[in-house]
Structure 1
Amino acid sequence: MPQPDPAIRPRPGAHLQYAALCWRLKAGRVEVLLITSRETGRWLIPRGWPMAGHSPPETARIEAWEEAGVCGTAGSDCIGVYSYAKGRAPESLRLCQVQVYPLAVSRLAKTFPEQHQRRRKWFTPRKAARKVANEGLAALLDRFDPFASPLERATPLETAPPEGHFRISPGTESAHDPL
């Protein structure tokens, strides 16, 4: 089973996922790709559970293909982490922690596994940050710069309050609403 980035420890009890922040240059400007969730239609980035035999960036790349038809190259460095509550009913809620990997898009396929279940759209990082419901993901999108060095990106990896200082609301994408 692939191991998470050793520099990033998941919160105790959190379920780990990997995501792809898909990006391209268009007319000299960076754009990022958002997709809709299957159930609620909220804007988010492709993400999924760890896959046996695949590294975290490979898993993110596979999820980007399945959910958005993205072909491209995933970066090897995690660029940030955000958390969310998965599930709708209080008894089924799970805290998920998502490690995000940049993915330089070389092409978008017209047909892909989840094409009839999702929409996809390009945005500037700043506009994408305003479209997503999750505050942690919004912060990652807002500061995204694919050309920044790891030192330039050295900001807190997760924007959530300390352990035990959040509530989880059913059906939300944000698990870190301060009490």
Structure 2
Amino acid sequence: MVASVSPTGRCRQRYVDGCRLVAGCIPYRYNNSCDTCNGDSQGRLEVLMVTPHRGEGFLFPKGGWETNETQEAAACREALEEAGVSGVIMNCLGSWEFTSKSCQDEHGLQRKVYMYLLHVTEELDSWPEDAVRERKWVPVTEAMGLCKNEWMREALVKFTDCLEGGDTLCSSPVSGDDSASDSLSHVSDEQPSEQPACEETVPAPAGILSDNAASDDEAPSCTTEENTSSSSD
């Protein structure tokens, strides 16, 4: 897989009731080579976290959900752009609302994020945002301490419950027409989705990566410029 250039801008961003809609995921793998696997044939469960575009700490890949893609495809795209990984996207863990700590756009600082599981099958050596982000595989217990926000910790709890069989939302990969959240009812007046959700690999072709996506990290303040490309870190 060849990494594409990370798109910028907000022309195609979705907004509902003043909230910018965001999609993200918790990428995970089973590491068979770790020192603490203790003979576990499945390996140690690890999740992938990335540094913010600005500021310190770690978070999970996420960013604006565009009007020309499904929610699942947006989560896959963000994983590729921010963390350089692709894989099997699973059903939605849920949605959370938060206040962005960075760029305020014309709709304000409110965000609503929909988080998915992503079972990683490919990890790129270079990716669109590798110059501005670091990535780190960590066990779930360490990730819980690294999470910058309470909603991320709640999503991680849902993630572990799902993998342990306590949540039926995790039963199968998402198909192109399915949605595991209530998001579609919230955006019925939006432009219909034109891109299928990914099932086995991230939808990386340039046709899917438009020129108007934007990241949505939560990092220290930045300057908002009208009609210019920007990141809502």
Q: TM-score, normalised by structure 2?
A: 0.56
CA distance in 2, matches of 1:91, 1:63: 20
- CA deviations 1:20-63 (Å, max 9, x no partner) are 11011113221110001011122111111112332111110011
Select the structure that is richer in strand: 1
Query: Which of the numbers 42, 53, 56 marks the counterpart of 2:71?
Result: 56
| Higher mean C-alpha deviation, range 82-91 or range 125-134 | 82-91
Q: Does residue 36 of structure 2 align to residue 22 of structure 1?
A: no
The aligned length equals: 150
Structure 1 unaligned blocks of 5 or more = 4-9, 158-169, 173-179
SS of the residue 2:55 aligns to: coil
| Higher mean C-alpha deviation, range 61-70 or range 141-150 | 141-150
Larger radius of gyration: 2
| Higher mean C-alpha deviation, range 46-55 or range 101-110 | 46-55
Query: Which of the numbers 50, 59, 66 marks the counterpart of 1:44?
Result: 59
Asked if the contact 2:82–2:133 (Cα under 8 Å) also holds between the matched residues in 1, the reply is yes
Query: Which of the numbers 122, 127, 136 marks the counterpart of 1:112?
Result: 127
CA distance in 1, matches of 2:29, 2:63: 21
Asked if the contact 1:74–1:103 (Cα under 8 Å) also holds between the matched residues in 2, the reply is yes
Which residue is 2:98 aligned to? Answer: 84
Structure 1 residue 126, shift from structure 2 partner: 2.2
Asked if the contact 2:13–2:64 (Cα under 8 Å) also holds between the matched residues in 1, the reply is no
Gap change, CA 1:91 and 1:58, over 3 Å in 2 = closer
SS of the residue 1:114 aligns to: coil
SS of the residue 1:127 aligns to: helix
- CA deviations 1:95-141 (Å, max 9, x no partner) are 11110011110021011100010010011122111101110111221
Which residue is 2:167 aligned to? Answer: 150
SS of the residue 1:41 aligns to: coil
In the TM superposition, structure 1's runs of 4+ consecutive aligned residues that sit over 6 Å from their partners are: 89-92
The residue type paired with residue 126 of structure 1 is T
Asked if the contact 1:72–1:106 (Cα under 8 Å) also holds between the matched residues in 2, the reply is yes
Q: TM-score, normalised by structure 1?
A: 0.71
Which residue is 1:73 aligned to? Answer: 88
Which residue is 1:136 aligned to? Answer: 151
| Higher mean C-alpha deviation, range 112-121 or range 46-55 | 46-55
Query: Which of the numbers 141, 144, 150 marks the counterpart of 1:126?
Result: 141
| Higher mean C-alpha deviation, range 82-91 or range 118-127 | 82-91
CA distance in 2, matches of 1:13, 1:103: 28
The residue type paired with residue 97 of structure 1 is K
Structure 2 unaligned blocks of 5 or more = 1-11, 33-42, 171-180, 182-218, 222-233
The residue type paired with residue 109 of structure 1 is L
Which residue is 1:33 aligned to? Answer: 48
